[in-house]
Amino acid sequence: MTSFTFTYLGCRIDDCGGSEEEILRRIKIARGCMKSLTKNIWRSSITHSVKIQLYNTSILPVLLYGSELWDVTVQSGKRLDAFDQWCLRHILQIPFTAHVTNQEVRIHSAQPPVTQTITARRLRFFGHIVRSDSDEDHTRALNAGIDDPPKDWRRPRGRPRQTWLRTVENDLNNRTWVCGLLGTEHITVNCGVKSWKRQRSC
């Protein structure tokens, strides 16, 4: 069976509803942007701090376009962090033959893992949705996804697919670092998505 895909507002959408293809596509586009700046920017005499700023303003927006809606799996997260590490080593001109750990690269560049940036964006977007009016289309779509399925519905065989709501719930359940990641943005992190729905309906 063939899958149906199309591009809408710059994002690749398929009939399965996953984000794997879009993440791979974004990595490919961002890698091309990185390589196009190798000669004139990354290998130039510009200071590392300026190069990091250029990376944050020119490469990351290309990579993270639409990332608020990604349902990032463990495998996709590893791919994104690996590409981010490749970019930072390329910018800092650290060859892979050098015995420099990924943690040292993070400290030297003062860059958080790109998956943490995606999580912060996703939770801010979720907070924007839950604070909106109940008659808005996105709020009704969220409530429809949270509501229990019909009684006659049976889940298909196999492992459940990772969805955006499951990703958000995993983010909210990770209380150890979500509060610090969001800074002054207040989102109730001591309950899951379904608990939030029950509280809002009261």
- Contact indicator for 90, 109 with CB cutoff of 8 Å: no
User: What is the tens place of the pLDDT at every residue in 24-82?
Assistant: 889 999 999 999 999 889 998 899 999 999 999 999 999 999 888 888 888 888 999 99
Q: What is the pTM of this model?
A: 0.73
User: What is the tens place of the pLDDT at every residue in 153-174?
Assistant: 666 666 666 676 777 777 777 7
Query: Residue 20: its pLDDT value, please?
Result: 81
